Amino acid sequence: MEKFRFLTAGESHGKCLTAIIEGLPSGLEIDIDFINSELSRRQQGYGRGERMKIENDTVEITSGVRFGKTLGSPVTLVVKNRDFESWQKIMSVAPEDITDDRAFSTYRPGHADYAGSVKYNQTDLRNVLERSSARKTAVEVAVGAVAKLLLKELGIAGSSQVTQIGSACCPAEFKDEVEVMRGKGDTVGGKFVVTYKNLPVGLGSYVHWDRGIDGKLAQAVMSIPAVKVVEIGTNPLGYQGSNYHDEIFAKDGEITRKTNNAGGVEGGMTNGQDLVVSGVMKPIPTMKAPLKTVDANTKEETEAHFERSDVCAVEACSVVAEARVAWVLADEILLKYGGDSIEELKKNFNN
């Protein structure tokens, strides 16, 4: 992110998650209800555990917005962790509060525990879990909601859908699939698709590898915890040149297409078709039926620590992906059209 810059912070059971966004134009209307509704969407979906019910996230804005509009200065978003009170001592900043309550040392396979504890020289794996947890995606969705408010000003809108859960490819089957897995104490992943409509032609570029919008989208989606596959448009396996590429037609002097296998990206640029980005999420690695693992202290084999109880979080993941795609698009829009105020941006955009 070059113009739509931001940093996020916050542990899973810390006081709050925080994000600072730097680079927004002034004059952008910030609809807090919309941000909260996006936070709420992240908490939906079959297969979520008990914690989601506690959370009911809402955002507080502590800088960069006055009387409902951005000032051009950095915007701070704060999302409280609602169960912080019961974790206050365990997650305390103060050295004197040190405790090994809730410490653990059994590496959870599929998580950051092992590599994270080696990297950051930690023995209490909670010091890894707290930031590597997917909890941090809540404030990422809030950042994405702000990006979506920017895009909305230009008529650009996004959505996302779950297209597969476990072996179920039809939405009517999703609930059953989840319940079967819950019964087994197992977990499932799945596939989702993010779509943005009404994009201008020419976001991204072919002139240098790191300016391709396809690569930026792939980074944004692949770095979501648990995503292992990213696709743009239709997976080309099984196609030939003659039936994969989207032929070009003219209608009233305008370019049209009858297909969109490219997913709206040719040559690393948006081509005016719908942008279509898919991802595959792996099954949640924390299961009631625990995996074999090793204890960090004793180096003896044991079973994995169990903390969360979601069976499936593909829907949440799709909302996070939709938010992250919005980051990329907002950044590309700001790079291409410039503009320090929303009025100037719109003028350049509509030029």
> Residues 28, 35, 75, 275: which binds a copy of itself (CB under 8 A)?
75
Size of the chain, expressed as the number of residues it contains: 351
H-helix or E-strand containing 39? helix 32-42
Report the C-alpha gap between 170 and 17 in whole angstroms.
35
Q: Which C-beta is closer to a copy of itself: that of 158 or that of 166?
A: 166
Considering only residues 145-174, where is the footprint of a copy of itself by CB under 8 A?
164, 166-167
- Of 10, 22, 1, 30, which is closest to residue 74 (Cα–Cα)? 22
CB 332 within 8 A of CB 348: no
Question: Counting contacts by CB under 8 A, is residue 197 touching a copy of itself?
Answer: no
**Of the ranges 33-41, 45-53, 149-157, 208-216, which one interacts with a copy of itself (CB under 8 A)?**
208-216
Residue 33 in the binding site for a copy of itself (CB under 8 A): no
Nearer to a copy of itself by Cβ, of 51 and 211: the residue is 211
Write down the residue that tokens 């919005």 correspond to. 326
- Distance, in Å, from the CA atom of 266 to the CA atom of 275, rounded to the nearest integer, reads 11
Judged by CB under 8 A, the stretch of 34-42, 43-51, 124-132, 147-155 that binds a copy of itself is 124-132
Shortest approach of a copy of itself to residue 52 CB, angstroms?
A: 18
Amino acid at residue number 78: V
**319 scored as a contact of a copy of itself (CB under 8 A):** no
Return the SS3 of 217. Answer: helix
Rule CB under 8 A: is residue 347 a binding residue for a copy of itself?
A: yes
Which C-beta is closer to a copy of itself: that of 85 or that of 95?
Answer: 95
Q: Phi and psi dihedrals of 124, rounded to 5?
A: -80, 110
> Which residues between 298 and 317 bind a copy of itself (CB under 8 A)?
299-301
The residue among 129, 152, 162 whose CA lies nearest residue 30 is 152
CA 232 to each of CA 198, 265, 328: distance values in angstroms, whole numbers, following the listed order: 17, 8, 14
Binding to a copy of itself, residues 225-264 (CB under 8 A): 225, 227-242, 244-250, 253, 255, 262-263
Q: Which stretch binds a copy of itself (CB under 8 A): 33-41, 50-58, 147-155, 181-189?
A: 181-189
Q: Which stretch binds a copy of itself (CB under 8 A): 36-44, 47-55, 87-95, 150-158?
A: 87-95
In whole angstroms, what is the distance from residue 52 CA to residue 43 CA?
6
Residues 97-116 that bind a copy of itself (CB under 8 A): 97-99, 107, 109-116
